[in-house]
Amino acid sequence: MYDRVLDNDWHIDIEFDEDDTHTHATVRARLGDDDEMTAIGDAFRNPSDVNQPMIGEEIAAARALIALGTDLLHRAGARIEAVTRHPVHLVN
C-alpha cells in the first residue's frame, strides 16, 4: 500500500493554556509519514471547587487525546475506503 518505508516513531506534544477556571490543551501529533494532526480539549472548573491545576490538565489532555484518536480512526477509514472502494465503519 505504501511506496516508501515509514518511520514507526510518532511524536506527540501537549501544550496547555490555563486561567483560574479553564484549561485548554492542544495536542500535536507528528506521525510516521511526516503528517501532523492537531486536536484540542478543554476543562472547566466549577468556581466552588478547589483550584487544582493538574486535574484540569489531565481532563483537558484526555479530551484532546480522545479527539485525536477519533480523528485517526476517521483518517484510517478514509484510507481503507480509498483502497477498497467500499464504505468503512470503524468501531471505537
92 within domain boundaries:
no
Q: pLDDT value at position 40?
A: 98
Question: Rounded CA gap, 38 and 29, in Å?
Answer: 6
Structurally, how many domains does the chain consist of? 1
36 within domain boundaries:
yes
Q: pLDDT value at position 65?
A: 98
Tens-of-pLDDT digits for all 92 residues of the chain?
A: 555 666 588 999 999 999 989 999 999 999 987 899 999 999 999 989 988 889 999 999 999 999 999 999 999 999 999 999 999 988 87
Q: pLDDT value at position 2?
A: 57
CATH number at residue 60: 3.30.160.240
55 within domain boundaries:
yes
∠35-36-41 over CA atoms, to 5°? 150
6 within domain boundaries:
no
91 within domain boundaries:
no
23 within domain boundaries:
yes
90 within domain boundaries:
no
Q: Report the Cα 44 to chain-centroid distance in Å.
A: 19
pTM as predicted: 0.85
| Grid cell locating 32 | 510516521
Question: Rounded CA gap, 27 and 35, in Å?
Answer: 14
